[in-house]
Structure 1
């Protein structure tokens, strides 16, 4: 018989939410590996000593989050969990992922100084062919490749990054802490592209597979562009998430008095 796990009926957190959090932790720490079968509803009733409706509510929420999927007649199975980054604030990838308990390591593929391509020069407000630092890194999430990052910075900043630890640190944090350059805002454009052979090899996928591409132009606190990037993410392992509010039009009575 599976061991019982304690949930607290006196907690302000509902029982189904406590169970959902316990099961989510088991999925994220590998106790329930991807594609493995979750305990049945009756087994979970025994484990947590709660009603079936409470178990179904917890499982329903996990399914809505994409952590499990159901197969008719066979039960619930663990999905391949996707890491996600909230883009309502400006954060580096490692900065965001480490807060969720993920391990991030970077593999530096290329670091060189090159004449700025036309688009890069325009985005960084530099004359065309001005020398810039070009940095290519593969981002490893929990030891698996999740993104390919191409970063362009003005040469002066690039020279400072030559001495920095690009294997374990975010470029954003290096700019702010090592270069004393406070960052202010970023413009993002997101689309889908087919993986080119070089990027596909680096991400351990087949050429032509779909990737999520983010173009990100980051400005310092004074509004000056300092960092332009192409970020290529594997769609099967990562999500960007954003919560937005609906703008409310002023009421007719209020408009009449404006």
Structure 2
């Protein structure tokens, strides 16, 4: 039986260090020189071991910065109607909403159709970069009818949209309808998420309704695939 290459053995040892918690999530890994001395191997071998773990997702390279131990992906249940702010708070993380664009516009045709708007109706268009620990996780483009939210403001959208709707406006949110699409980001989206244009991301198009079935928002959200994984539970019929 052929023995495993040295780089694979070293990769396995590094993996054990991560699993044991000796290398913490989000921390930079030791230098090639340090690892070369630690494992008594050439830098070329160390480089190959690290490359293997990057491909497995246990390590991640950040351009211009270095190589880090990957943090666990956020598990997003698409059957739970939960805002980004609510989700992060549940995970004991402090979210930040960076409002990149806030304006009243004539909606594009696909937005007008989704929101079932009248001919002259306007919407608030808001682009928000959703961050945790200064790291962008999601880019959100939201369209909200002006007639439903005439007092919507930049300040409101810097906080939780759903807190504003439910706690300040006293409206009850019933459900949302979502479509998940894998895409390659354009330059603006890639820049806002801090990824390359060649990096696949997930786009979720969804519209949400109140208890009386009034459609109150249409959003297009862009999720980094290295930070999120999407789960659902499927049951066999009786």
Using structure 1 for the length normalisation, give the TM-score: 0.65
1:134 is paired with a residue whose SS is strand
Count of residue pairs the alignment pairs up: 187
- Contact 1:117-1:128 at 8 Å conserved across structures: no
Q: Which moved more, 1:101-110 or 1:122-131?
A: 122-131
Indicate the residue corresponding to 1:106 in structure 2: 97
Residue 191 of structure 1: how far off its partner (Å): 0.7
Alpha carbons 2:102, 2:154 under 8 Å: kept: no
Aligned partner (choices 124, 129, 146) of residue 138 of structure 1: 129
- Counterpart in 2 of 1:182? 172
Taking a change above 3 Å as real, the CA distance of residues 114 and 234 of structure 1, as seen in their structure-2 partners, is same
Give the structure 1 partner of residue 207 of structure 2. 217
Q: Which residue of 1 aligns with 2:194?
A: 204
Hey, what does 2:35 align to over in structure 1? Answer: none
In the alignment, structure 1 residue 227 sits paired with structure 2 residue 217: yes
Contact map agreement 2:138 2:193 (CA 8 A) in 1: yes
Q: Call closer, same or farther: CA 1:31–1:80 in 2, change over 3 Å.
A: closer
- Name the CA distance, whole Å, in 2 between partners of 1:144 and 1:159: 32
Q: Secondary structure at the match of 1:160?
A: coil
Matched residue, 2:12: none
SS in 1 for 2:150: helix
Is contact 1:116-1:129 (8 Å) kept? no
- Alpha-carbon offset, residue 235 of structure 1: 0.7
Residue 139 of structure 2 is matched in structure 1 by 148
**What residue ranges of structure 2 are gaps of 5+ in the alignment?**
1-17, 31-55, 60-67
**SS of 1:156's equivalent?**
coil
Question: Structure 2: how far apart are the matches of 1:183 and 1:156?
Answer: 17
Deviation of residue 31 (structure 1)?
4.2
Compared with structure 1, are the counterparts of its residues 164 and 183 closer, same or farther at alpha carbon in structure 2 (3 Å cutoff)? farther
**Larger RCO (alpha carbons 8 Å, 6+ apart):** 2
Structure 1 residue matching 2:148: 3-state secondary structure:
helix
Q: Give CA deviations for 1:132-153 in whole Å, capped at 9, x if unaligned.
A: 1101000002320011100001
SS of the aligned residue for 1:174 comes to helix
Q: Which runs of 4+ in 1 moved over 6 A?
A: none
Q: Which sits farther off after the overlay, 154-163 or 227-236? A: 154-163
Q: CA deviation at 1:206?
A: 1.8
Unaligned runs of 5+ in 1: 1-22, 38-65, 70-76, 249-258
Assess, with a 3 A threshold, how the Cα gap between structure 1 residues 33 and 134 changes in structure 2: closer, same or farther: closer
Which moves more between the two structures, 188-197 or 156-165?
A: 156-165
User: Shift of the alpha carbon at 1:79?
Assistant: 3.6
User: What is the root-mean-square deviation in Å for CA atoms of aligned residues?
Assistant: 2.6
Q: 1:127 aligns with which of 112, 118, 128?
A: 118
How far did 1:158 drift? 4.0
Q: What's the offset of the Cα at 1:194? A: 1.1
CA distance, structure 1, for counterparts of residue 154 and residue 71 of structure 2:
37
Larger Rg over CA atoms: 1
